[in-house]
Copies of this chain bind each other. A is one copy, B any other.
């Protein structure tokens, strides 16, 4: 199909498609003449992936470029693709290895991961993200030990082990499986976050709701 059809099928405007082509997010079409290129199903799927990472993941273009490069690199196994996606979606955290407070927070985070027996790369940026949260809780005088955070770890691992592991589509092509893995990480992460806020609102309505209505 031509670029105009690709735009119609995907709902992505032609200038945006051209921008993605320039930025290397979308592979070039097959050049059929000097001024024409043909696009296919693969381009439609890639546009959906980009849109998902943008609209639901709120990822910057640079992060999407890294994810797309991992999807395209067929020599990259599933574990490394997932790692690339994880690293790309991690919000930037300033590490402060010279600061005593920071080192304690990071040690608390590393200690919890070790206690849980989890296999996590020593350079995973999620370790710094966890340290940042520990530091923030500690500064606010809220429980910030590994033990205080353990319920979140156990909740997450139960979800992964009992549910998410089963949803990896190992029966599809590598590209489809990888896309599902990446999108699942991003979109289902948003789903879990939204569900937690909805569950909190519902629990709060039950606990505080009625007594508050009296003051209205």
Contact = CB atoms under 8 A, between A and B. Distances in A.
Interface of A: 48-49, 51-52, 55-56, 58, 75, 77-80, 82-83, 86, 89-91, 113, 118-121, 124, 126-127, 129-130, 132-133, 136-137, 139-140, 142-143, 149, 151-153, 155-165, 167, 179-180, 183-185, 187-209, 211-212, 215
B80 A212 contact: yes
Contact of A204 (B78, B91, B133): B78
B79 A183 contact: no
A195 B165 contact: no
Nearest to A196: B156
A179 B132 contact: no
Given A78-B204, A120-B202, A152-B188, 19 more contacts: A51-B139, A56-B132, A56-B133, A78-B207, A79-B209, A82-B200, A82-B208, A89-B197, A113-B198, A119-B201, A119-B205, A127-B198, A129-B190, A153-B198, A153-B199, A156-B196, A165-B203, A189-B193, A193-B193
B152 A91 contact: no
Contacts of A188: 152
Given A75-B215, A159-B196, A118 B190 contact: no
